[in-house]
Structure 1
Amino acid sequence: MNIAILGFGTVGTGVYDIIKKGNTTHTQNLTVSHIFVRETRTKDLPEMTANIDDILLNDDVDVVVEVMGGIEPAHDYILKALQNGKHVVSANKAVIAKYMDEFVKTAQDNNVDFYFESSVAGGIPWIKNLERSLRIDNVSSISGIFNGTSNFILDQMKKTGQPFADILKEAQDLGYAEADPSADIDGYDIENKLCISFNLAYNTSIKPSAELPCFGIRNITDQDINYFNELGLIVKLMGKSRRAQNEFDYVIEPTLYNPSQVESSINDNFNYASLNGDTIGELGFMGQGAGKFPTANAVVQDILDIVDQTPRVIPAEKSTLKLNTNLSLTDYLVRTSADLSQYVNSSQIKAVNNIYSLVESMPAGKMHQAMAQLLKEDNQAFMVNIAANDKERVL
C-alpha cells in the first residue's frame, strides 16, 4: 500500500520512521511513496514534493496522511484526496472538529475511509475503543485529561511549588508547549478533542465556538496549588460531557480530585480519557497524549485498519440530542478581588476565607458566563470545580 504524507514535522517524520523500519509483517507491506513539503524546504529525500497534485491526482497513492495542522489548506487537501478515491488518515484535531461531518460523508460518497484516531489523546487508542463501546452501549458520559501540556504544568507546580510562569517556560523548553501556549492553557486544544469525542459518542454535530463553556489554567497561581494541597486535593484541567435523556452538556474547566480518584494519579504530560456505557460501565485509558512516536503510532494503526478493512461505527443519520450547558449543577471555588455577588446570586455564595469563596449548586454554563463577566473586572480571577463530597474540606 502506497502512503503519501502531507507535512513532515514531528508527527510526519514519526510516521515515516515507523513505516521505513517495517518492524512487523504488517508494516512491511506499507510504503511511503510521497512526502508533501513546502516549496522552500530542501528536498533531501527522494519521496519529497512541493506539488500537491503529484499526490492528489496520482492513481498509485492509496492513503493520504494529513499531519500539516491548521485549517487551510488541510481542509481542502483532505476533501480532494477523498474525492479522488484515496483513504485519508488525519491527526489534525482542529480541522476534524470543524469539518468531521463533511469528511465522513465525502468518504462514504466515494467508497473510501476517513480515520482520525491520532487526533484525540495521541497514542491512546481512544477513538477505536469509543467506537467499540458504541457497538453495544449508549455512552452516557465522557471525561478526560485531554491535554498533556496543561497536565504537565499542574503536576510540576504541585511537585515543585514553583510559579505558573516558571513551569510554563520549562514546558516550552522541553517542547511540550508552543511559543504561544494559548491552545493548551486556555483549553482550546481540549475543546477540539472533546467535540470530536462526544460527536462520535452521541452522534451529534457540535463545533468549537466561543459560546461553549471553556475556562483554562492561565490564572492559576502557586498559592492556589498550595491551598489545594492543604485541602488534600489535586487540580486537573478537564474536558467533560454528560448525557441525560435527550440532552447532553459540555464543559472544560479546572477540577479538583481527591487522591482516591484515578484522575489525581495522572502525572507529567500523560493523558487520561474515560467513558461510561450502559453495560461496560466506566472504562478508562491512560498514556502518552502527544509526541512524535505515540501520535505516529496511532496514525499507522489507522493505516493498518484501512488495510484490514476495519469498519467504522458512524451512523449516517444524526441523533436528536440537544446541547444544554446548564444540565449539570456543581460547586465551585472562586478566587477574586471583585464583588462576586454582582455576578452570582448571593444566596449561593459562602465565604471560605479572605481569598476564596464557595459557589454552591451552580449550573456550569451560568457559572462560566459569570466568570466571563467577572474577568472584565478582575482579570486574574480563577475558579475550580469541586465535587459535592469534597466541599466539606473547605467549610
Structure 2
Amino acid sequence: MKIAILGHGVVGRGVDRIVTERVEGVEVSRILELPDRLTDPRMTSNFQDIVDDPEISLVVECMGGIEPAHTFIMDALSAGKSVVTSNKAVVAEHFGEFVSQANFSHAGLYIEATCGGGIPWIASILKARRIDDISSISGIMNGTTNYIVDAMVREGADFDVVLAEAQRLGYAERDPSADIDGIDVRNKTIIASSVAFDTTCTGSIPVTGIRTLTKADLDLFESRGLSVKLLGRAVQGDGRYAAAVEPVAVPLRSLEANVPSNFNLCTLVGTTVGELKFYGQGAGSLPTGNAIVQDILDFSEGRVPHYDIDTPKQYDPTLLTSDYVIRTSSYVEDSEPYAEDFEFVGGDRAFLLRGITAEKAHEAFVNVLDQDPSSFMAAIARED
C-alpha cells in the first residue's frame, strides 16, 4: 500500500520513521514539501502530483494550520483518497465538512492523532459509543500547561520561570499562546465532543487559559485541598450540550491533580461502562506519530471510523455550571451571587461566584480583566 505524507516537520518525520522501521506492507511513496526543501527523491512541492497518483490510496496530513491543509484534505477526500490527519485546528473548524465529503466519496477520515497524542482517545470514544450514550467528557489535554502547573507546584517557581524552562525543553513553542490561552485544548474539546455527542460542536465555547496563574493562586487552592489544572469539559443531555475550557480546581487526591509533567489524562462517562480514564503522553513526535500510524494500519485492514453527526444538537450553556473563584484587585460586580471574602491573596481578593454557567463566568472574567489584566479565574470541581 502506498501513502503520501503532507509535511515533513517533526510529526511528518516521526510518521515516516515509524512506517519505514516498523510497518510492513506500507510505503511512503510521496512527501509534500516546500520547493526549497526537496531533499528526498520522494518529495514534491506540487500537491496535484499526489492527487493524480492512482497508486496512492491514503494521504497523511501533518502540516498544521487551516490553509492550505483544509483545501488539501478536501481535495484528497473528493478524489476518493482517505485522509489521516493530526491537525486539530483544521479538524475542529471543518469537522462537519470533512465528514460529509468523506461519506459522499466513500473515503475514510481518521483523526486519532488530533487529540491526546499517543492516547487512543478518539478510538476509545468511538468504541464506547457502540453501546453507550456518553454523558460527559473531560481531561487534561495539553502537556505544556500541565508541565507548567506541575513544575510550579513541585519547584515553588513562578509562571514565567517555568514557561521559559518549558520552551527550553521544547514542551512550549516560542509563542506559547495556543497552549497557555487554552486554544489547543479548545480544538481538542470540540473534536472529542463532536465524536462523543454525535454532533458538530460549535467553536464558540468559553475559553480561559492559565496565562495569569501565580504561585500564590496555587498556594491558596492547596490550602483548601485543591490543585489547579487546565481542563476541557463537555456534557450533553436531552438533545443539548455544553462545553468549556478553563482552569479547574480539583481535589488533591484526584487522579487529575496528580498527573505529572507533560502527561495527559482524558475521561469519558458512559451509560453502562461508567467512568473511564485514559493516561499517557499527549504530544511529541513519536507519540503523535504512533497515533497516526495506528490510523494507517486501521485503513490498511479495512477499518473505517464512522461519525454520526446528522442530528444537530442545541448548545445550551446551562448544562455546565460550577462555583468559580476570581482573584483580582478590581471589583467584581454582583450580577451573580458571590461570597465577598473567599480569601485574600496578597493585595488581591478572591471572590466566589456560586452556581453559574461557564459562559457567564467567562463573561464576568473578561470584564474583570479589563480592569486588572493580572486577574485569575478557576472553576471548582464538584466532588462525587
TM over 0.5: yes
Closer, same or farther: CA 88–389 of 1 in aligned 2, 3 Å: closer
User: Contact (CA 8 Å) 1:326, 1:366: kept in 2 or not?
Assistant: no
One-letter amino acid of the counterpart of residue 258, structure 2: S
Equivalent residue pairs, number: 380
User: Contact (CA 8 Å) 1:275, 1:284: kept in 2 or not?
Assistant: yes
Q: How does 1:198-213 map to 2 (within 5 A)?
A: 198-209=193-204, 212-213=205-206
Q: Residue 224 of structure 1: which of 217, 229, 235 is its match?
A: 217
User: Contact (CA 8 Å) 2:65, 2:90: kept in 1 or not?
Assistant: yes
Q: Residue 90 of structure 1: which of 74, 85, 89 is its match?
A: 85
Q: Determine the C-alpha separation between the residues in 2 that align with 1:278 and 1:126.
A: 18
Number of the residue aligned with 1:3: 3
The 3-state SS of whatever aligns with 1:112 is coil
Q: Which runs of 5+ in 2 are unaligned?
A: none
One-letter amino acid of the counterpart of residue 381, structure 2: A
One-letter amino acid of the counterpart of residue 18, structure 1: I
The 3-state SS of whatever aligns with 2:56 is coil
Q: Which runs of 5+ in 1 are unaligned?
A: 391-395
How far did 1:326 drift? 2.7
Number of the residue aligned with 1:30: 26
Number of the residue aligned with 2:180: 185
Q: How does 1:1-395 map to 2 (within 5 A)?
A: 1-22=1-22, 27-41=23-37, 43-209=38-204, 212-315=205-308, 317-319=310-312, 321-340=313-332, 342=333, 344-345=335-336, 347-354=337-344, 355-388=349-382
Q: Determine the C-alpha separation between the residues in 2 that align with 1:79 and 1:260.
A: 46
Closer, same or farther: CA 362–48 of 1 in aligned 2, 3 Å: same
Closer, same or farther: CA 327–223 of 1 in aligned 2, 3 Å: same
How far did 1:100 drift? 1.1
Q: Determine the C-alpha separation between the residues in 1 that align with 2:299 and 2:45.
A: 26
One-letter amino acid of the counterpart of residue 335, structure 1: R
User: Contact (CA 8 Å) 1:348, 1:361: kept in 2 or not?
Assistant: no
How far did 1:343 drift? 5.3
Closer, same or farther: CA 251–50 of 1 in aligned 2, 3 Å: same
TM-score scaled by structure 2? 0.96
Closer, same or farther: CA 389–21 of 1 in aligned 2, 3 Å: closer
Q: Determine the C-alpha separation between the residues in 1 that align with 2:310 and 2:225.
A: 46
Task: List 4+ stretches of structure 1 deviating above 3 A.
Answer: 387-390
Q: Determine the C-alpha separation between the residues in 1 that align with 2:244 and 2:185.
A: 10
How far did 1:316 drift? 5.4
The 3-state SS of whatever aligns with 1:219 is coil
- RMSD over aligned Cα atoms: 1.4
Listed one character per residue, the Cα deviations across residues 208-267 of structure 1 (whole Å, up to 9, x for unaligned) are 23xx21110000011112222322321100000111323221111111111321111211
One-letter amino acid of the counterpart of residue 166, structure 2: A
Q: Determine the C-alpha separation between the residues in 2 that align with 1:388 and 1:124.
A: 26
Q: Determine the C-alpha separation between the residues in 2 that align with 1:388 and 1:78.
A: 41
The 3-state SS of whatever aligns with 2:319 is coil
The 3-state SS of whatever aligns with 1:250 is strand
Q: Determine the C-alpha separation between the residues in 2 that align with 1:389 and 1:286.
A: 21
TM-score scaled by structure 1? 0.93
How far did 1:344 drift? 3.6
How far did 1:388 drift? 4.9
Identity of aligned residues (%): 42
One-letter amino acid of the counterpart of residue 373, structure 1: N
User: Contact (CA 8 Å) 2:93, 2:203: kept in 1 or not?
Assistant: yes
* Higher mean displacement: 222-231 or 141-150: 222-231
User: Contact (CA 8 Å) 1:241, 1:249: kept in 2 or not?
Assistant: yes
Q: Determine the C-alpha separation between the residues in 2 that align with 1:318 and 1:306.
A: 26
